[in-house]
């Protein structure tokens, strides 16, 4: 399992679809927003949590097609399907590799980009907590979408259409945690909802992804 994880991490870095592309997109979104909405610091403060969460979500979405597509193209996925390692474990490792190369860098760099959007001081900690708790769900849900569309020509667009509605609850509660934390309000309710979504996705979706992959590889 560790060998497969290291392999996926190396492929993500070499292919350019990992943290480099995601971070560049996240930075571009964050930099362009002040130009679009104007220099009103009060407005930037109000929209900062939502904009940062939307940027992180889209940055994760940008690299989802590489989770399984490369392995399917070179036949590695067929070999993994016949390996003694359960398909659920394979899917989980690929989701973990995607989170390490895409989600984790976004969590670490988000406070720096929050400065550009005039995010209030108390909001930085809750922004990191919400992204740290929510981005694993984005990777697991994205892996499920990648499993649904593996082998399809131009499946990236279809995968985006399938995955985006599933991302909405994570986006809502993640941005709400960051917004309430920035305003000094209670965050327990949205934080628990976000945790429930993430833990539920991590616990259940690998089985669904594995089942879909078995059907697609027949």
pLDDT tens figures, 53-103: 999 999 988 888 778 877 777 777 878 777 778 889 989 999 999 999 889
pLDDT tens figures, 166-177: 999 999 999 999
The residue among 160, 52, 156, 159 whose CA lies nearest residue 111 is 52
Cβ atoms of 110 and 54 within 8 Å: the answer is: no
% of the chain at pLDDT higher than 70: 95
The pLDDT, as a whole number, for residue 157 is 78
Q: Is the pLDDT of residue 107 over 70?
A: yes
pLDDT band at 16 (very low <50, low <70, confident <90, very high): low
Longest Cα–Cα distance of the chain, Å, equals 58
Cβ atoms of 159 and 145 within 8 Å: the answer is: yes
Sign for the pseudo-dihedral over CA of 161, 166, 170, 176: positive
The pLDDT, as a whole number, for residue 121 is 86
Q: Is the pLDDT of residue 2 over 90?
A: no
pLDDT tens figures, 120-148: 988 999 999 999 999 999 999 999 998 88
Question: Lowest mean pLDDT: which of 6-20, 53-67, 121-135, 197-211?
Answer: 6-20
The pLDDT, as a whole number, for residue 72 is 78
Task: For residue 109, give every residue at least 6 positions away whose Cβ sits within 8 Å of its Cβ, in sequence order, or none.
Answer: 23, 26, 27
The pLDDT, as a whole number, for residue 15 is 60
Mean pLDDT for the chain overall? 87
């Amino acid at each position: 399992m560790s060998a497969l994880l290291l392999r996926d991490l190396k492929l993500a870095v070499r292919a350019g679809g990992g943290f480099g592309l995601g971070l560049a997109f996240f930075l571009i979104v964050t930099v362009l927003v002040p130009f679009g909405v104007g220099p009103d610091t009060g407005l930037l403060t109000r929209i900062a949590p939502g904009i940062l969460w939307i940027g992180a979500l889209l940055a994760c979405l940008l690299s989802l097609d590489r989770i399984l597509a490369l392995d399917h193209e070179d036949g590695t996925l067929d070999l993994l399907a016949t390996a003694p390692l359960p398909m659920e474990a394979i899917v989980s490792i690929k989701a973990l590799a995607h989170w390490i190369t895409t989600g984790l860098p976004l969590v670490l760099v988000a406070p720096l980009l929050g400065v550009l959007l005039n995010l209030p001081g108390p909001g930085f900690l809750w922004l990191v907590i919400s992204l740290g708790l929510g981005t694993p769900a984005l990777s697991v849900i994205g892996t499920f979408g990648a499993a649904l569309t593996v082998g399809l020509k131009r499946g990236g667009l279809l995968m985006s259409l399938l995955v985006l509605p599933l991302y909405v609850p994570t986006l809502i509660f993640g941005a709400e945690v960051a917004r309430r934390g920035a305003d000094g309000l209670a965050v327990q309710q949205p934080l628990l909802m976000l945790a429930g979504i993430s833990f539920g996705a991590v616990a259940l979706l690998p089985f669904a992804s594995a089942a879909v992959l078995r059907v697609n590889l027949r």
